[in-house]
Chain A
């Protein structure tokens, strides 16, 4: 059973639709680059807060912490620039590309479907609904934990990065207000940024699980869709 908008789209393209083109190439590329960046960011970020055991030898011959921080900052730039690119694609791409940025919060039917999905995950309903894009619950989660989360991590992260670049640098000019906003002591921003990392880790766990589970349970493709772009319906 397809949701209304997707049904309309499906009917328009063919009578018996078995596959719909959902994710365009730039979006798919972004997804995987972004996934890699998040992985690098989480791992290096963890070791920036709690560094690895000391390396022996002369300081002039070692640059371990330097490389870890470099990887973190490089991945952060890729993540942030990718996010800007993703916003651009939300504007010029198809309507699925806008899903994680705009929630139909005034639509009562949409909320109804959020709760339907919730009941599906709680084993209270037998059959899942099928969606061409994100299901409403997934859309809500993506918005709360990814979109909001990414903005949060970019703001706190570049505020801290601006401290290293120094007063008056672009990062300090643009994001320095974050430090003032939490009371002026950037130690607080470090703590909140690290907490954001853990939220992201939790989100990734749920995201990967939900994708695999729905791929199996809801009789439609999810993982291969993010590779090929086509959503396949198995019945």
Chain B
């Protein structure tokens, strides 16, 4: 029998005390309450490791970069041990045919019982020729590996939505995972990149409880994507007060006012940045003085400027937002009515003065 998570940890010199601390921390970050800490500990002590295969499609590796910087050192150890990176072509020691052999081995040995994590997405144009791995299109490798997987994790905005390579005009037809694989449960962990602690917590949850965390309407784990950046933003009181940064270098910017007018996408972005934050909880974009760009939202590259609040609407041309289109329409209507009223008045005046008016064609 394969060893348990706990055995792996002990072998790596982690004390039981640290292990239990990790269990409490994970229970808390998953929003489960203290009663769940022993359950997590029990699961990690008794359950055999579930292998995780980590594939890379069209991507920039920012998800991996984020993941290996998970702030809590034990989290990193645990999860990296959990994954054991049975296959991760960026991080694994093996290469070439040796690496591909591991992939085959895990697929055969743990059929229907491994988790597939996908970073990046497959391009579909030209039969998938824009992303070749092991001598064949990535989309084929993805489909083959997904076939026997228990569940799929879509890491980052690439795998979840398409991200920059799928932005208009999307020359390679980069396609998110859920539009290629239809028969497996898919959990989306969007962000460019996602927060490290979010990634590790999602993996821990799935391995511990052997089920998907509760997902929202769009397939994201509710525990981290259930609220907007705006809902938990520490600058929110300035928003409610009506205190905004008007220009990047003004006094309001120095006083840390709300960045809403500078195009902050916090009110439409679901992520945990304003609570979990980044780099061991040091900061997050808004705290650093820049609005949220909404990187964990679908199609965020194609939704107009990062610096406008009322953003451009694609359907009405390159630089038209709701106000341009709407105010123009209202102006045209207003002007037409003024003209119409003038003509009406003129027609009536002429009738009253007895001047002959041309006969209407009924």
Stretch at the interface among B81-89, B97-105, B120-128, B232-240: B232-240
Interface SS of A by simple majority: helix
- Output the least CB separation between B357 and chain A (Å): 9
Is A202 on the interface with B (CB-CB < 8 A)?
yes
- How many A-B contacts at CB < 8 Å in the complex? 150
A163 near B323: Cβ-Cβ < 8 Å:
no
For residue B347, which residues in chain A have a CB less than 8 angstroms away from its CB? 123
Is B228 on the interface with A (CB-CB < 8 A)?
yes
A62 near B243: Cβ-Cβ < 8 Å:
yes
Chain A contacts with B in 179-235, Cβ cutoff 8 A: 179-180, 183-188, 190-192, 194-195, 197-199, 201-202, 205-206, 209, 213, 217
For residue A190, which residues in chain B have a CB less than 8 angstroms away from its CB? 268, 310-311
- Output the least CB separation between A2 and chain B (Å): 18
B216 near A167: Cβ-Cβ < 8 Å:
yes
- Output the least CB separation between A58 and chain B (Å): 8
The total of chain B residues at the interface (CB under 8 A) is: 56
Is A74 on the interface with B (CB-CB < 8 A)?
no
For residue B241, which residues in chain A have a CB less than 8 angstroms away from its CB? 55, 59-66
A49 near B303: Cβ-Cβ < 8 Å:
no
B313 near A166: Cβ-Cβ < 8 Å:
no
For residue A177, which residues in chain B have a CB less than 8 angstroms away from its CB? 217
Contact of B298 among A51, A176, A184, A192 (CB under 8 A): A184
Within the assembled complex, what's the spacing in Å between the Cα atoms of A84 and B242?
33
Chain A, interface size category, equals 35 or more
B326 near A194: Cβ-Cβ < 8 Å:
yes
For residue A186, which residues in chain B have a CB less than 8 angstroms away from its CB? 268, 297
Is B32 on the interface with A (CB-CB < 8 A)?
no
Contact of A163 among B228, B238, B309, B334 (CB under 8 A): B228
For residue A49, which residues in chain B have a CB less than 8 angstroms away from its CB? 309-310, 322-323
A65 near B242: Cβ-Cβ < 8 Å:
yes
Q: B316-358 vs A: 1/0 string, CB under 8 Å?
A: 0000011101110110011001001101100110000000000
Chain B contacts with A in 182-217, Cβ cutoff 8 A: 216-217
Is A124 on the interface with B (CB-CB < 8 A)?
yes
- Output the least CB separation between B192 and chain A (Å): 14
Chain A contacts with B in 18-54, Cβ cutoff 8 A: 49-54
> Residue on B with the closest CB to A209?
B337
Within the assembled complex, what's the spacing in Å between the Cα atoms of A60 and B260?
18
- Output the least CB separation between B176 and chain A (Å): 11
A187 near B294: Cβ-Cβ < 8 Å:
yes
Is A125 on the interface with B (CB-CB < 8 A)?
yes
- Output the least CB separation between A75 and chain B (Å): 18
* Given A55-B241, A186-B268, A206-B337, A195 contacting B326 (CB threshold 8 A): yes
Which 8 A-B pairs rank lowest in CB-CB distance, beginning with the nearest? A198-B326, A64-B242, A62-B241, A194-B322, A184-B298, A65-B242, A66-B240, A59-B241
A-B contact pairs, 29 of them (CB 8 A): A53-B246, A54-B244, A54-B252, A55-B241, A60-B237, A62-B242, A62-B243, A65-B242, A66-B240, A123-B360, A124-B361, A163-B228, A167-B226, A167-B227, A179-B217, A183-B299, A184-B297, A184-B298, A184-B299, A185-B300, A187-B297, A190-B311, A194-B323, A195-B325, A198-B326, A198-B327, A205-B333, A205-B334, A206-B337
